[in-house]
Copies of this chain bind each other. A is one copy, B any other.
Amino acid sequence: MDLSTVPVAEPVNRLIAELEKLPGVGPKTAQRLTYYILRQPESEVRSLAQALLDVKTRVRFCTECFNISEDDLCPICRSPDRDRSVICVMEEPLHVLALERTGRYRGLYHVLHGVISPLNGILPENLRINELVERVKRDAVREVILATNPNLEGDTTASYIFKLLAPLGVKVSRLARGLPSGGELDYADERTMVEALDGRRPLN
């Protein structure tokens, strides 16, 4: 949809173009958001703009686990209540949130910031894999849970890391695969069904 031929105020066109760069935001959504913002009080728009800038200027990565943090060490790495002998390896910070929200995990994290994907030019050295191996060597780590995505790239990355960690004598695990809780069998894809069958557990 070319708006350049349509006489529209330049700042409006520019905001539409900027919003369209965001993932999942098409031209229609960008237009709707722009006109929504036009109708909002200036104070509201200012706090959104400020929040955007703050996230870039005030947030960095934890020097230990590479999760997002406002300080050198993130709140999880700093916490005295966490079990320092378990590290859960995640692809990205969003996944840390997904596990934290359960409230069931009390160990530490290690964020890789991606997965091995040679086609996209992402090699092991582009991820925080070396830093993970160093942590395991240095600290008294008992178990590493590889929680990369349950897909081809996630599995490949997990295998690669497993080979590096196995010689260190640490226990390495992977999150369980199977049917999603609350789902229905007719919606499960073939691969999930096979994994659910292979991983079936005896009742007693």
Please report A residues at the B interface, Cβ cutoff 8 Å. Answer: 1, 3, 5-12, 14-15, 17-19, 21-24, 29, 31-38, 40, 42, 44-59, 68-70, 74-76, 79, 92-94, 97, 100-101, 103
Contacts and interface: CB of A to CB of B under 8 A. Distances in A.
Given A68-B38, A69-B9, A74-B7, A14 B54 contact: yes
A27 B103 CA distance: 19
A27 B163 CA distance: 37
Contacts of A10: 70
B38 A29 contact: no
Nearest to A17: B51
Contacts of A33: 22-24
Given A3-B101, A9-B70, A34-B55, 20 more contacts: A1-B101, A9-B58, A11-B54, A11-B59, A12-B59, A14-B54, A15-B51, A15-B52, A21-B44, A23-B32, A24-B29, A31-B94, A31-B97, A37-B56, A38-B59, A38-B93, A40-B56, A42-B56, A45-B56, A49-B53
Stoichiometry, copies per complex: 2
Contacts of A18: 47-48, 51-52
A55 to B, nearest CB: 5
Contact of A22 (B3, B5, B36, B75): B36
A68 B32 contact: no
B12 A68 contact: yes
